[in-house]
Amino acid sequence: MKTTETMESSDPMIVRFTEDEIRLMHLALDRWGLNTQIGQTVEECAELIVALQKYSNRSPQPESIDNIIDEIIDVEMMLAQLRIAFNVDDDTFRKGIAQKFARLSEYLRQG
C-alpha cells in the first residue's frame, strides 16, 4: 500500500491526501477500529443521501449546496479509510475505475 505518495493536482476532480492526512486516517482506524469506521461510513453516506434528497426535493438553496459539499468531503474521507483498511492499493483502485468507466462509456455510446 502506498501511503507516502503525495500528489499535487490542479484538477479539482482528483482527491489526493497528504502524508499527514493519510497518517491521521491510519490513527483513526487504529483508535476506533474497523467496525466503528464502517459504521461511521454508513452514517456519512446517509447524511449525504439526506443532503441530496433535500436538494432535489426543494428549490436549490446556497446552504443546501454547501451541505452537499460538506457531506461529499465526509464520505470521501471515510472511503479513503476503507481503502486503507481493506488494502485497496492505487493500482487495484485505478483498474477498477478504468473498468467502470469503460462500462459507462459503452452505456453512453448505446444511447
Which residues contact Mg ion by CB under 5 A? 44, 47, 74
Minimum distance between the CB of residue 70 and Mg ion, rounded to whole angstroms? Answer: 6
Q: How far apart are CA 4 and CA 74, in angstroms?
A: 22
Q: Nine-digit cell at 37? A: 469506521
Minimum distance between the CB of residue 21 and Mg ion, rounded to whole angstroms? Answer: 17
Minimum distance between the CB of residue 72 and Mg ion, rounded to whole angstroms? Answer: 9
Nearer to Mg ion, 61 or 105 (CB): 61
Contacts of residue 9, Cβ cutoff 8 Å, sequence gap at least 6: 16
Per 3-state DSSP, the chain is made up of helix, strand and coil in percentages (nearest 5) of 75, 0, 25
Give the residue closest to Mg ion by C-beta: 74
| Other beta carbons less than 10 A from residue 71's beta carbon | 19
What is the chain's length? 111
Nearer to Mg ion, 74 or 84 (CB): 74
Nearer to Mg ion, 40 or 88 (CB): 40
Nearer to Mg ion, 46 or 104 (CB): 46
